[in-house]
Amino acid sequence: METNQKKSVNFLRGVPAQEALEKVMPAVLKGYETAVLKYGTDVLQYGHFTGFKPLRDIIGSLHGVDSNRVVAGNGGLEVISLFFKSLPKQSLILVEETSYDRVLIDAMRYGHRLAGVPLTPDGVDVDRFAKIVNTMKPNAFYGIPFHQNPTGITYTKDNRKTVERICRENNMFCIWDICYQILRYDGKANDSVEISDWGPVIASSFTKTITPGTKCGYIIVPQSYVNHFTQVIANTRINPNLPTQGFIADFIQSGQYDQYLNYLTGLYRPRMDALNHALKTHFPGAFPCDIAGGFFAVLAFPNILKENETAFIESSKNNGVSVASAWDAVAPDFLDDMQKKGLFIRLTFPALDPESIEWGILKLKETAEVFKL
């Protein structure tokens, strides 16, 4: 929030806090130097297209799988995109009714078809999920089970296991994007995802847990899919950013990564608490769950329909709050019905201090009240 007379809050982009980047900067500066000195030309020469072997070994060990199943790339979105590229053309992919917008757009650009599954506070509607799988025979399901983007929902373990079982029984990929799994701020810890030879496919990223600029993510695929997936990668790019992967490998092994995650938890918890308090105070019942971690929450405005959506967003901006519709995050077959129910926006909170969050939600409430008149 600006310190001059004109306050402003930007709820648009899910970026880490500036304080977090400043905190980790010394480790990043030292880490890249250490990586080059430690690994030498291994991180300067062409490397293997599946990523830096020491980092893949660490990731494999953390998840209890052989490192040959791990592909480390330039961010979580890149490795998910590569996986979509590896699927047969015009595959049918099930997605949550609202999901990570860039993944939805990317899948459609590959020519794949998308079908949405309703979300509940416990995860997906498993009865509806089973029915869609039985009738439509999809190739894959993509979901975000921990602090879901954009709703903030965390699947229960039973819900997640049921989804995995249905996918396995129907010979379809279950792709879990777990990039927010360790970003929980309420003093509890999320359970881990168990991986077998079958799967599920696991994708994650260090973007939110270290820095966006380092651009590193990974994916773990079934053993039987390694050769096919590796060939797709080999024909797409030569190798990822190896100095970054060398730095991250050393950052994890040194224990600094865990220390930094503890710092992030302490930094983001009061911001999360402020968001939950403000939403409960000004928009009771309008959001699906208490936020326990991650980067996002959602808010719906039933009285803001398509014809006055632009006017509301502009009025919010004039009142100092930047928001946007989140229609790109909605599964295509859910879009018409959701738009009839009113404006749907995504809120991000980690980069904002608690006072700014409380103030911004209040201003959204005041703006919405004007549109009720």
Degrees to nearest 5, angle at CA 205 with 65 and 291 = 110
d(CA 309, CA 71): 42
Nearest-angstrom CA–CA distance, 70 and 131: 32
Query: Which residues does 123 contact at the CB level (< 8 Å), separation at least 6?
Result: 143, 145, 153, 155, 156, 159, 160, 163
Number of C-alpha atoms within 13 angstroms, CB side, residue 57? Answer: 7
* Confidence (pLDDT) at 223: 95
Cis omega before residue 54 (within 30°)? Answer: no
Among 142, 103, 153, 101, which residue's Cα sits nearest to residue 327?
Answer: 101
Instruction: Domain 9-16+262-372: give its CATH code.
Output: 3.90.1150.10
Q: Are 213 and 242 in contact (CB under 8 A)?
A: no
CA nearest neighbour of 346 among 293, 313, 299, 301 = 299
Distance, CA of 322 to CA of 137 (rounded, Å): 41
In single-letter form, the type of residue at position 165 comes to: R
Helix (H, G, I), strand (E, B) or coil at 117: strand
- Pick from 189, 156, 160, 190: nearest CA to 175: 160
CATH code reported for the domain at 32-257: 3.40.640.10
| DSSP characters over 177-220 | E-TTTT-B-SS--PPPPP--SS--EEEEESTTTT-GGG--EEEE
CA distances from 96 to 134, 191, 220, 308, 320 (A): 17, 21, 21, 27, 32
Q: Distance between alpha carbon 129 and the CA centroid of its chain, in Å?
A: 21
Q: What pLDDT is stored for residue 373 in this prediction?
A: 59
pLDDT digits (tens, 9 = 90+) for 314-339: 999 999 999 999 999 999 999 999 99
Supply the pTM of this predicted model: 0.95
Q: Which residues of the chain have pLDDT under 70?
A: 1-5, 373
Residue spans per domain, the chain: 9-16+262-372, 32-257
The residue count for the chain = 373
